[in-house]
Amino acid sequence: MTAAATATADGLGRMSVHHVDQAAPEVLLSRLEGVQKAGRGHRARCPACGGTSRKLSITEADGRVLIHCFGGCETIDVLQAVGLRWSDIQPPRHWPESPEERRQLRRAAREAALITALPELAYATAVVRLAAQQLHRQHALDEADYQTLLKAEEIIGNAREFFCESKRLGVAHG
């Protein structure tokens, strides 16, 4: 459980901000749709740009919640779409306040999303190979196989979006 500091007035009448005192990805996850475990994190539908594929990657590292949308959404827009602020999921030392801190957090979130996407891509490749072998032997795919194949297609599509986005932002070249 994550303890939340409550708003209290100090002797001077200043209000301290209500915030969590440790990374709380579960607060965000509970408000998302289509949440699925992926690697060390989760994937879900993006509440900001919509669609049915799981474009959103949510991971936790170094006491921070790292959020990345493969559709290119800004993290703050993702949070606002489900009525959250940084203070609801991140302790104050990790609130990105300057442009440089926001850039740094975006970069870390993108890298975490990629690390999650690579094993998924290996899995998707194996699924496609098995389905191809099965069809080649003229065994029809049953419903479960078909759903697995669709999931593989989604993973490949997400990876494609990631690389398109990386190219657009110039990330691939440093």
- Nearest-10 Cα torsion for 51, 52, 54, 56: 30
Amino acid found at 13: G
Task: Name which position in 5, 49, 108, 115 contacts Zn ion (CB under 5 A).
Answer: 49
Nearer CB in complex with Zn ion: 32/69: 69
Within 8 A by CB and 6+ apart from 10, the residues are 16
The answer to whether 159 contacts Zn ion (rule: CB under 5 A) is no
The Cα–Cα gap between 31 and 47 comes to 9
Q: How many residues bind Zn ion (CB under 5 A)?
A: 6
For the segment 55-74, give every residue that binds Zn ion (CB under 5 A): 69, 71, 73
CB of 51 to Zn ion, least distance (A): 8
Which part of the chain contacts Zn ion (CB under 5 A), choosing from 49-57, 88-96, 102-110, 116-124? 49-57
What does the per-residue mask of binding to Zn ion show for 9-48, with x meaning CB under 5 A? -------------------------------------x-x
* Residue with tokens 């999650």, as numbered in its chain: 116
Within 8 A by CB and 6+ apart from 64, the residues are 23, 90, 94, 105, 108
**How far are the Cα atoms of 37, 63, 82, 154, 155 from residue 123, in angstroms, in the given order?**
14, 28, 31, 12, 9
CB of 161 to Zn ion, least distance (A): 10
CB of 71 to Zn ion, least distance (A): 4
Instruction: Please report, as ranges, the residues that interact with Zn ion according to CB under 5 A.
Output: 46, 48-49, 69, 71, 73
